[in-house]
Structure 1
Amino acid sequence: MTEHQHQAERAQLSADIDAAALRKAEDYIEQEEGAANRLKGWLAAFVTLVAVAMSAYHLYSAYTIVPAQTLRATHLAFVLFLCFLVFPVARRFRHRIMWWDWIAALASIAVAYYLIQGGDDLTDRNTTPLPWDIFFGVILIVLVLEAMRRTSGWIMPIICAAFLAYALGGPWLPAPWTHKGYEVGRLIGVMYMTLEGIFGVALDVSSTLIILFTIFGAFLQYSGAGKFYLDFSFSAMGGKPTGAGRTVVLASFLLGGPSGSGVATTVTLGSVAYPMLQKVGYEKNAAGGLLSAGGLGAIISPPVLGAAAFLIAEFLKISYLDVLLMAVIPTVLFYFALFLMVEIDARKYGMHEAVFEQVDSVWNLTRKYWFHFLSLISIVVFMLWGFSPVMSVFWATVVSLATSFVRRDTALIPYDIFRGGGTGRKLARSPLVKALEGGSIGVLNVAATCAGAGIIVGVVTLTGLGLKFSSIVIDYAGGSLLLTAVFTALVVWIVGLAVPVTASYIICAVIAAPALIKLGVPEYAAHMFIFYYAVLSEVSPPTALSPFAAAAITGGDPYRTTLQCWKYTVPAFLLPFMFVLDPAGYGLLLMGSTKALATADWWLIAEVTVTAAIGIAALAAGFQGWALRRASRIERTLLIVAGFALAYPTRMADLVGIALVMAVLAVQYLWPQPQTA
């Protein structure tokens, strides 16, 4: 066999391995978003038509007024109808639609139609429902549980069923969980016939903000924005030893807007960036940890954040702009931690320079595709102009559509669509139709989860479980705010092990947040605390989907990759404690709103931000074992202690932390050679 044949064989083997890794990574995306059918022929065309109609309806509802009861019911009907056609009942029935799928899909329409045509009369009799009301309500609950099972697995339906059992079996429960109990009719009245249960806050946000942001993300994706952000990051960071890691950090931030998913960002980035990380010297698990940490950043980064961020605005009755404002400093500090880790990696692992093929220079890329940045920042601009979040994302989507025509290769409707025959067929295959379809399909798993979360919220509201649970937590903590925060973080983390970020936030917002609020923590700080710990579910076994997906791409060990991801993210995740333990820490959230910011103490905000940054740097150096040089065990311990001290926003703790950091740096500067522990 010739050398040329050997090279061709090796290239083919490498391609096969890469393809297998991507397929495995896509399996993790399916675990988060459901294992979808790949339909053909008229079935595929029908699903596309329904999905496009769903996106068009929600864009219309953003521009005009649709009554809440009608909008939420129609939204859920679309979601359930598509869930039963797109996601199979079991893997062995994939890529086809069975007769029972059609029955479930049609039942979804019937349930929504009965609710809408019932009008105010149906809502008014929620305390004394008719037999038909109970029948359709039970059907809806079963359909929602099954839709959640198909899109995200068994855990969430089991949790919802447990809450329903709690509502029904109150008198037979042991103290302090006992309550009077509720009959099926009363439960159905709340869940189905009011805007307090399934059609409550979570589904309201899903039917307005979340669906519109997924449509906006799809428009960015199909207009080539995602590819541009990757190319821009590669070109901007160059071939220096830290360039590979910096590229991952920058690209993860830019890609977070179009994808809106930590796992999807990890896979998109990993498939392109891993060869570059490998080339400069990252070992498999460290590379996977960095990729998944970057994917995690996509969920907490403005201007889109994750779906749970929209729920924060609705729960707190504040504008989405205020939520974005609260996320600014924590996001900057999160990426500051990642950049520090990358800098330390380059020195710790002795990484070398590498030459990468650059698609184009930064200047040329920006000159050609500048309008993709315009699409991304337009949301915030519209909000600053006074538009509501719904109208802001609507007009941002219009901007994305309009600016896509700046270049032929990014146009969502091809330039030559009206030339020659087959205009309808060309339009059906256009990026615009794919974007409208992708926007609807992309929201299904989140929307189904929001509907299921409505069951939980309804039970908690009906039984008073939230206040009961908060009292129990405070009693266990002995009234200590620090212990209450620790217990709350553990509760959120444990819940997050089993369910996605959105569900984890909703559950804990109604059962755990009251404990912090009762001890004097402002509502906005308590909810942001829970949001950040809910995000940990993306990197926590047994559902550490982002690290597992990264490991599939790099060929690393999934659990070692998860530990590496924790190493990259742990310093930043101490931040939530800073904005609940002391009033000074509220400065990290810019005091919670634009109104409060107008009279804020800017010196206090600057002080707490700087001390947080120093604390993060100390933790990064401590966990990595490297500051000015390799750190001894004593130095690592002192740095970690300093980081924890600086994470506690009091003057004395800050002074202790800064003194420890300066002591370690002085020792390393005066004695450059590693000291024995």
Structure 2
Amino acid sequence: MSAPNGSSPQTEPVISEEALRKAEQYIEEEEGAANRMTGWIGGFLVLVAVVMSLFHLYSAYAIVPTQTLRLVHVAFVLFLSFLLFPLARRFRHNIMWWDWIAAFLAIAIVVYAIMGGDDFTDRNTTPEPLDIFFGVALILLVLEAMRRTTGWIMPVVTVCFLLYALFGAYLPQPWTHKGYEVGRLVGQMYMTLEGIFGVAVDVSSSLIILFTIFGAFLQFSNAGKFYIDFSFSAMGGKPTGAGRTVVLASFLLGGPSGSGVATTVTLGSVAWPMLAKVGYERNAAGGLLAAGGLGAIISPPVLGAAAFLIAEFLKISYLDVLMMAAIPTILFYLALFLMVEIDARKYGMGDTAFEKVDTVWNLTRRYWFHFLSLISIVVFMMLGYSPVLSVFWATIVTFLVSFLRSDTALLSYDLFRGKGSLKEHILNSKLVKALEAGSVGMLNVATTCAGAGLIVGVVTLTGLGLKFSSIVIDYAGGSLFLTTLYTALVVWIVGLAVPVTASYIICAVIAAPALTKLGVPDFAAHMFIFYYAVLSEVSPPTALSPFAASAITGGDPYKTTMQCWKYTVPAFLLPFMFVLDPSGQGLLLMGSTKALASANWWSIAEVTITAAIGIAAIAAGFQGWMFVRTTLPERIMLIIAGFALVYPGMIADVLGFGLVLVALVSQYVRGRRVALRA
């Protein structure tokens, strides 16, 4: 059997160091290219990062005033960002004098605000000259920190919003507003909890960093390795085993991390040789790996950082957000499983076997506690704990159960045996590395949240959200379908330029009102925007997950991106279901546990089954294969059926089911003929 690209699948490729370095560059594009420091400076930076993580763990359990927590969080983030991320690549691995000035200026600005107390916040409409100086300095520092950690696009977008606030009086209708002076703008952005220190930073300081620390604890206790090994063993030995392994491992590995690119690279470096061995060509393998990585952003228990913002914007519990994501996540992975099943038939993959690391039973018997760590967050939330306390105690659980085996322990067993000095054991421990990674790993998200606070502040101050929603509705002529379509396009276009978190925040304040004005519930509108914001991960020029996958497989970045679209398109039609018709809200389990208690379970089951059949039809149509290769009429019928089934309504459903039935009969008849000839 030959691979689709003509190469023999028996030749197992070796991933070169150059390919891995190139893949790491895409992670750096998402997370920033950090300095690697040694000596006393390196030790100092590790200490600051560890103290930052310990402070936030303390604040999760103890009572720290909201205003203090947000300001201290921003101070830590800016301080570390300026010392860890260089002004330009030529200064990398060196901390320059201007970096120290910027870092300590950030601390001075926050100390000034905290020491000012209530008097400081009360004069936000009439700030003093020193307030304006520190406020302007903070805005500039946030913009520069964003540039260093995420690139130029997000700062440029933020500056455009700030200019809109300053010069709105000179714009034509309907965009015009009275315009605001620098002092008034600074008062909003620096001296209240409506700008930089607003909702986004609140979520960053209270939830995102705690989940990042939790993910780091899992990583350094070797949970990630276990999830990959478990998936390999559970799914091996079958024609579709390689593809299934990627799907299952991406869920287990990505769920706790919430990072699409990191999941793609981690999984790809292990899974690509296996995918090539069973017959995947480079671009198809890269597309599948990237699609699996994309699942990390929409999969419980962590999802992406934007999921925490949904809970804060809607003033609902994070458990409700997890619940809303449950069925769409299942359907997303159903689509991927169907795709790899079709791949096995389409590419004629035989029973190519690959070595298992161990049996599922042996792996589970030795490392079962990693599953306990994974589900403990949800268990704590179901017991009534807040999301903050849930992730705090889940982190403690992960720390404690790591000692069940010496190879997963976050502190060496030798420490308890009295071997070596306490100082050496602590400094070189996995625990310190996990605490450091927990802070450093979220700096790019935190700076984005601070910058997004500037955007939200402008939208609040100028009323831009209401203006924008009115414009969208006018263009759509009041049609909910067209408004939804335009909103999806707006979110997608914004997502082409900025990361998922920023894309969601921007569109949540400017685009969500258009949907809610036409009667769409808040939770459905925000989940719709969240899912289309996630598309930024697979859309050039910021298609970082497919580009990282192509670096590993040696495929073409843009062809890999198109393959990724093929694997993910069925699932991304789902958001239209829970926006266009009330019955579709069953896919979100009605948005809350309270609403679910009185919901019609048959209606939820019906819409879920309809969505699943629609996804299956689209998968078969896009792949051009069902039981046997589809003819052109069958392919057209399946694609039309899929779109009809994800568009709510009796007529659309009847059309969709009818076309699927015709295609099934046609496939069955042709399949029998092929079998008889054989």
TM (normalized to structure 1)?
0.97
Q: Which residue of 2 aligns with 1:459?
A: 458
Q: Which residue of 1 aligns with 2:660?
A: 661
Distance in 2, matches of 1:254 and 1:410, equals 18
Q: How far apart are 1:259 and its partner, in Å?
A: 2.4
From 19, 22, 37, the counterpart of 1:21: 19
Contact 1:584–1:650 under 8 Å retained in 2: no
Q: Which residue of 1 aligns with 2:599?
A: 600
Distance in 1, matches of 2:300 and 2:65, equals 30
Q: Which residue of 1 aligns with 2:512?
A: 513
Q: Which residue of 2 aligns with 1:245?
A: 243
Distance in 2, matches of 1:385 and 1:123, equals 38
Q: Which residue of 2 aligns with 1:310?
A: 308
Contact 1:267–1:549 under 8 Å retained in 2: yes
Contact 2:13–2:273 under 8 Å retained in 1: no
**CA gap 1:668/1:421 in 2 versus in 1, 3 angstroms:** closer
Q: How far apart are 1:422 and its partner, in Å?
A: 2.5
Contact 2:239–2:352 under 8 Å retained in 1: yes
Contact 2:414–2:420 under 8 Å retained in 1: no
Equivalences for residues 177-192 of structure 1 within 5 A: 177-192=175-190
- Counterpart of 1:343 in structure 2: which amino acid? E
Distance in 1, matches of 2:356 and 2:42, equals 38
Q: Which residue of 2 aligns with 1:59?
A: 57
Q: How far apart are 1:46 and its partner, in Å?
A: 0.5
Q: Which residue of 2 aligns with 1:5?
A: none
Tell me how large the CA RMSD over aligned residues is.
Answer: 1.1
- Counterpart of 2:605 in structure 1: which amino acid? A
- Counterpart of 2:101 in structure 1: which amino acid? I
Question: Residue 304 of structure 1: SS of its match in structure 2?
Answer: coil
**1:205 partnered with 2:200:** no
Q: How far apart are 1:240 and its partner, in Å?
A: 1.0
Equivalences for residues 190-229 of structure 1 within 5 A: 190-229=188-227
**1:92 partnered with 2:90:** yes
Distance in 2, matches of 1:44 and 1:14, equals 37
Q: Which residue of 1 aligns with 2:631?
A: 632
Equivalences for residues 110-259 of structure 1 within 5 A: 110-259=108-257
Distance in 2, matches of 1:353 and 1:498, equals 43
**1:557 partnered with 2:556:** yes
Question: Residue 47 of structure 1: SS of its match in structure 2?
Answer: helix
1:64-102, Cα deviation, whole Å (9 max, x unpaired) = 111111000000000000000111110011111111100
Q: How far apart are 1:421 and its partner, in Å?
A: 3.5
Question: Residue 408 of structure 1: SS of its match in structure 2?
Answer: coil
Question: Residue 412 of structure 2: SS of its match in structure 1?
Answer: coil
- Counterpart of 2:552 in structure 1: which amino acid? I
Equivalences for residues 107-506 of structure 1 within 5 A: 107-418=105-416, 419-506=418-505
- Counterpart of 1:227 in structure 2: which amino acid? K
Q: How far apart are 1:225 and its partner, in Å?
A: 0.3
Distance in 1, matches of 2:258 and 2:483, equals 31
- Counterpart of 1:38 in structure 2: which amino acid? R
- Counterpart of 1:231 in structure 2: which amino acid? D
Q: Which residue of 2 aligns with 1:6?
A: none
Q: Which residue of 1 aligns with 2:69?
A: 71
Question: Residue 414 of structure 2: SS of its match in structure 1?
Answer: coil
- Counterpart of 1:64 in structure 2: which amino acid? A
Distance in 1, matches of 2:129 and 2:341, equals 66
- Counterpart of 2:530 in structure 1: which amino acid? F
Contact 1:217–1:257 under 8 Å retained in 2: no
Contact 2:13–2:276 under 8 Å retained in 1: no
Question: Residue 357 of structure 1: SS of its match in structure 2?
Answer: coil
Q: How far apart are 1:417 and its partner, in Å?
A: 1.6
The percentage of counterpart residues that share the same residue type is 77
- Counterpart of 1:427 in structure 2: which amino acid? I
Distance in 2, matches of 1:140 and 1:493, equals 30
Distance in 1, matches of 2:255 and 2:488, equals 27
Q: How far apart are 1:255 and its partner, in Å?
A: 0.5
Distance in 2, matches of 1:620 and 1:420, equals 58
Q: Which residue of 2 aligns with 1:8?
A: none
Distance in 2, matches of 1:180 and 1:520, equals 30
Q: Which residue of 2 aligns with 1:50?
A: 48
Distance in 2, matches of 1:232 and 1:649, equals 39
Contact 2:472–2:514 under 8 Å retained in 1: yes
**Stretch moving more, 120-129 or 349-358:** 349-358
Q: How far apart are 1:555 and its partner, in Å?
A: 0.2
**Stretch moving more, 646-655 or 597-606:** 646-655
Contact 2:580–2:648 under 8 Å retained in 1: yes
Contact 2:60–2:389 under 8 Å retained in 1: yes
Alignment length (residue pairs): 662
Distance in 1, matches of 2:27 and 2:487, equals 28
1:243-289, Cα deviation, whole Å (9 max, x unpaired) = 00000000000001332200000000000000000000000000000
Equivalences for residues 575-590 of structure 1 within 5 A: 575-590=574-589
4+ residue segments displaced more than 3 Å = none
Q: How far apart are 1:667 and its partner, in Å?
A: 1.0
Distance in 2, matches of 1:575 and 1:464, equals 31
- Counterpart of 1:491 in structure 2: which amino acid? V
Distance in 1, matches of 2:134 and 2:631, equals 66
Q: How far apart are 1:166 and its partner, in Å?
A: 0.1
Contact 1:168–1:184 under 8 Å retained in 2: yes
Distance in 2, matches of 1:165 and 1:141, equals 13
Ranges in structure 1 where 5+ consecutive residues have no aligned partner? 1-10
Contact 2:484–2:576 under 8 Å retained in 1: yes
Distance in 2, matches of 1:449 and 1:602, equals 40
Contact 1:330–1:589 under 8 Å retained in 2: yes
- Counterpart of 2:110 in structure 1: which amino acid? A
Contact 2:516–2:522 under 8 Å retained in 1: yes
**Stretch moving more, 288-297 or 232-241:** 232-241
Ranges in structure 2 where 5+ consecutive residues have no aligned partner? 1-10
Contact 2:411–2:425 under 8 Å retained in 1: no
Q: Which residue of 2 aligns with 1:574?
A: 573
Contact 1:216–1:396 under 8 Å retained in 2: yes
Distance in 2, matches of 1:260 and 1:437, equals 18
Distance in 2, matches of 1:116 and 1:205, equals 19
- Counterpart of 1:298 in structure 2: which amino acid? A
**CA gap 1:18/1:259 in 2 versus in 1, 3 angstroms:** farther
Question: Residue 169 of structure 1: SS of its match in structure 2?
Answer: helix
